[in-house]
């Protein structure tokens, strides 16, 4: 009995010792795991702060490169933070897309806006024109020109924020997916007011502003079909002096075959459908249409010295509109 009891006591002690050794091993493993997890979390936090500082430094560099120190002093232009536009720059908000980049619709401070995000592959020369575009538009306040609200400079290719124009472009309404019938009165008003906007740019600002890409796709219409000229991406500031006054002539964005067909038809003294859409040739006001055709031909003169300036064109169109209204 004594020997047996002694043997059992030895076995129990050995088992307790092994359990103690096992528990100590688990505690060591647990401490190691907690230490490793803590180290990884610390590394992640440190990496996050490094990346955050790097991103802030990159945004500061973009801001500097994109003319931020100059543009933040420009009146009537708001400089937006990248974060402020984050919710708008989602794929479901895209309302326009092309070689120029993408246009998004959204809300900023309860105001509908159109946010223009240029293509990533914009070349260096085009990037250099950004500050020029902002400065140009900050100087323009006119009912027939799209208002630039602000811009974001904390990105490689700066983003522009415009007032939102509800009905889209004249091109889409006449030829695109947003087809809507426009009668002669509406078309005459659009032409006259677009000319007013261009005349203002050419002659009524401190420096002459040439748009350089006037076409139906760059004329937007609001709910009342009031035209607003947009897209100053290739505009140029030109000092007003005698040598450059000739550049204030009527300009157009060449549309190849359409313009050639119109001029050929006019030379042949064609009338009606051969010069204008069927929708407006049935009004019976052939005299008005002939006056419009003559203005068109003058504006399309190959020799710019033979073209009328936009102030003259705007006045003629306004007179035609008033006479037609009466």
Report the binding-site residues for ATP.
117
Pairing state of beta strands 78-80 and 148-152? parallel
Task: Tell me the torsion sign for CA atoms 86, 90, 94, 98.
Answer: positive
Report the binding-site residues.
117
Per-residue pLDDT of the chain (326 residues; tens, 9 = 90+): 555 555 555 555 555 545 555 556 677 777 777 777 877 888 888 787 777 777 788 888 888 888 888 888 877 889 999 999 999 999 999 998 876 788 999 999 889 999 988 776 555 555 556 677 677 777 788 999 999 899 998 988 888 899 999 999 999 898 877 778 888 899 999 999 999 999 998 888 777 777 877 888 889 999 999 999 987 654 444 433 333 444 445 555 555 566 777 777 777 776 666 678 777 877 667 888 888 888 988 888 888 888 899 999 999 999 999 988 87
Domain boundaries, the chain: 38-164, 170-325
Angle at 195 between CA 191 and CA 201, to 5 degrees: 150
Class of domain 170-325: mainly alpha
CATH architecture of 38-164: 2-Layer Sandwich (3.30)
Orientation of helix 184-203 relative to helix 310-325, angle to 10°: 150
pTM: 0.73
What span, in angstroms and rounded, lies between the C-alpha atoms of 79 and 212? 26
Residue keyed to tokens 């050419």? 202
Equal fold, 38-164 vs 170-325: no
Residues annotated catalytic, as ranges: 213
- Taken as a whole, the chain contains a residue count of 326
């Amino acid at each position: 009995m004594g020997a047996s009891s002694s043997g059992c006591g030895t076995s129990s002690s050995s088992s307790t010792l092994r359990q103690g050794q096992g528990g100590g091993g688990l505690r060591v493993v647990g401490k190691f795991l907690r230490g490793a997890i803590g180290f990884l979390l610390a590394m992640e936090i440190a990496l996050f702060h490094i990346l955050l500082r790097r991103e802030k430094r990159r945004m500061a560099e973009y801001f500097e490169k994109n003319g931020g120190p100059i543009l933040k002093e420009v009146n009537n232009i708001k400089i937006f933070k990248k974060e402020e536009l984050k919710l708008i720059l989602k794929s479901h908000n895209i309302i326009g897309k092309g070689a120029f980049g993408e246009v998004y619709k959204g809300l900023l401070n309860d105001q509908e806006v159109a946010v223009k995000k240029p293509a990533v592959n914009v070349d260096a020369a085009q990037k250099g024109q950004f500050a020029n575009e902002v400065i140009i538009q900050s100087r323009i306040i006119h009912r027939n020109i799209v208002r630039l609200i602000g811009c974001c400079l904390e990105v490689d290719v700066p983003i522009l924020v415009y007032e939102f124009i509800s009905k889209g472009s004249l091109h889409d309404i006449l030829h695109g997916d947003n087809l809507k019938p426009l009668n002669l009165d509406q078309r005459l008003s659009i032409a006259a007011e677009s000319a007013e906007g261009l005349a203002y740019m050419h002659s009524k600002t401190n420096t002459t502003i040439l748009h350089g890409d006037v076409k139906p796709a760059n004329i937007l219409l609001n709910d009342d079909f009031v035209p607003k000229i947009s897209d100053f991406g290739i505009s140029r500031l030109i000092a007003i002096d005698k040598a450059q006054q000739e550049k204030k002539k009527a300009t157009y964005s060449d549309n190849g075959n359409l313009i050639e067909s119109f001029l050929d038809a006019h030379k042949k003294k064609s009338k009606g459908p051969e010069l204008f859409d069927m929708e407006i040739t049935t009004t019976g006001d052939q005299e008005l249409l002939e006056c419009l055709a003559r203005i068109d031909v003058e504006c399309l003169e190959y020799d710019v010295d033979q073209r009328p300036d936009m102030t003259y064109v705007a006045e003629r169109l306004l007179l035609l509109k008033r006479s037609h209204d009466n």
